[in-house]
Chain A
Amino acid sequence: MKSRAVIQFLVYLCLIVFIVASVGPFFLILRTSLQKTLSLTGSRNPEYTLVNYINLLTKTKFPRWLLNSVVFAGGVTLVKIVIDTFAGYAFARYRFPGNRLLFSFVLVTMMMPFAVAMFPVFMIVNRLRLTNTYFGLIIPMLANPFGIFLMRQFILGIPKEIEESARIDGCREMSILFRIIMPLSRPGQAVLAIILFMWQWTNLIWPLIVTNTAEMFTLTVGLAGIPSQHTIDWGLLTSGALLSVVPIIIFFLIYQKGFIEGLTWGAVKE
């Protein structure tokens, strides 16, 4: 019908508008990053050049920052996937005394913003002599109740029959955990992986406090350091911004199928 086509057209139009609003700005600053520019005002050198990217990669420690971000975000994500699945499984399946209480406790800890804890956490990390190290970066970020919550909900949605029949067949607990639960919760883990990775990739305050030398900065910290006291090199800054977004877009594109699958699964949990 004609009106249905019109509606469809309008829908696509709206979506295109939103896409432009979402992604458009990046193309705009792409242009700035390709020009040798020190200010945003009109008086810019109109030639296109790669000098900003070259400066970024050679004069700053950008490649090292990239590595650090990958190690940091990747490290947190990998460890959390394992321990959160464990914990989520325990809360979802085991009727142990204190299950409800401890889980409520988990929910309560979600309300403690990191900004509140950052100071004492830094003191602890310092006591352990872990400042400016990968372990110092990663370990405090493992304290995050969100993953437990998420994995518990997912595992609640996995039908119990599979485990039951495995138990009847004489499977031991550990096998059930590793051979059945882990594979089945992959979609949930995919969701968790993307969210956690993204949070740590874009984390500013913690890496800032805990790293001391430019070798250990993550991307966010490095970028924050580009503006100096009285000037901002916009060309350098925008090129850094773009290059810091690209890896995580790639990561996302790889995992997005699992991510979407996971979200859909989670919605059907009850």
Chain B
Amino acid sequence: MKNMKRFTVLITIAVLVFCMASAFAAEKKAVIRVWKGPHSPDDTGVFADVIKAFEAENKGATVEYTPTPWDTINEKYTTAFASKNPPDIIYGFTGGYVDNVVGECYDFRDIFSKDEFAFIKKGVADSLLEETTVEGKLVSIPYFTAGAAFVYNVDLLKKAGFSKPPDTIEEQLAYAKKLTVDFDKDGKIDQYGYGQLSYDTAEAKPEFFLFSFGCNLFNKDMSGIDYDRPEGLEAFKYIDQLWNKDKTAVPVGLYPGTTMTDAFFDNKFAMWVTHNQIVAHLKDNPNFKIGVSKMPKGPGAGIAQGRGTYAGSGFWCIAKDTKNLQLVKKFVLKLYDPKYQKPIAVAFGFTPSNTQTVIQQDAIGKAFTDAALNFGVPYRFGPRVNEVKQAVWRAMQALQSGQLGPEDAWQQAVDEGKAALE
């Protein structure tokens, strides 16, 4: 009846009014939004200085820095960009999640003047620019350079009679056998020789197995895959040796996520390939003696003399849909200013890509930097790249968890990799 109708209409109008009110209330002034995955417990604090300096020089502008959780970073960035309301600046790294969104970011050469561009690029090697070039666009300039190196437990190696790390991958197999021990003879292995970063952290990057045998993921112009050669199969057979034949590698999934790092410090396995972030754990494990060296040499001399490893960059991208381009450019220029870049790098434990920004590094830090600069295989990224990477990872994981044999796994990687590039 009439009352009913009036009532419903009233409620609907009230709801709509509230909606619009809140929408208008959400209007903001010049705010620059910066998103980055957290690299420390207090990520926002690390940027406090550069933000304060920027806001002091640009009255009325504020910088809103948001650490975005790693677990959910993909959908967050993808939906933000898809909705044409993305953050103004994002931090990406070549190993990760920005593959899908870089298409919506500016080419640095298009928006910065010659002087500004030179300022940002100062000290960054030309060869590194390849890493931030996606489909012909230079979406950024490397800000941090990081790499993975061969990392091992000095004490465990010494106990097994080894005073130095393995120099070749054959030696690595022998080391792994000696380092895999069942102490109490209860049938359960208490210590493994070899380990690998967990796949669910998206840090695994086991492509270095391919590098050791001379294969890359892609060919030179990124038009096809490179591992569909016999050497690729050899790489898979090597993985099979470690995980299934010798059983000297930590079973996949036993230590999910970042607990693999905990297991390393708990002497659960002796050798692996991991990133320089691991040094952040050293202060909590003062009695642990860590060794860092270059990768054991494989037969693939064509790539980094057989010692190829992951080397990637962290960098800042500017979204095309930003509404405050001038202010954003100013902030980015500040970020790349060595005065601010240095403390940020130190706080995160990264190496600035700007080689003129020298940070103090101990022997361990130097070892990581050397691995990245001398043996790093530039890591490409982009939408199709991600799919190929996932195909390779999935195949290797299937092999390591015993679901497929080496030939089948390699074949699956090849098939799915090719399908991804169609």
Contacts and interface: CB of A to CB of B under 8 A. Distances in A.
A adjacent to B, CB under 8 Å:
yes
Contacts of B67: 214, 225
B76 interface: yes
Interface string A126-149: 111111111100010000000000
Interface string A201-226: 00011001100111000000100110
A67 interface: no
Interface-central residue, B3, B18, B66, B277, by most chain A CB under 10 Å: B66
Contacts of A172: 1, 3
Interface string A142-165: 000000000000000000000000
Report, as a range, how many residues of chain A touch the other chain.
35 or more
Contacts of A39: 259, 262, 265-266, 284
Interface stretch (A6-14, A40-48, A181-189, A245-253): A40-48
Contacts of A127: 83
Nearest to B7: A174
B71 A228 contact: no
A231 interface: yes
A208 B43 CA distance: 19
A231 B259 contact: no
A229 B64 CA distance: 21
A131 B38 contact: no
Interface residues of B, number: 51
A120 B148 CA distance: 39
A133 B22 contact: yes
A225 B41 CA distance: 10
A172 B6 CA distance: 14
B38 A229 contact: yes
Contact of A229 (B82, B83, B277): B277
Given A208-B75, A225-B69, A231 B1 contact: no
A179 to B, nearest CB: 13
B100 interface: no
A43 B3 contact: no
A25 B217 CA distance: 44
Given A130-B22, A130-B26, A123 B71 contact: no
Contacts of B275: 230
Given A123-B83, A208-B76, 5 more contacts: A119-B79, A130-B26, A139-B19, A230-B275, A231-B258
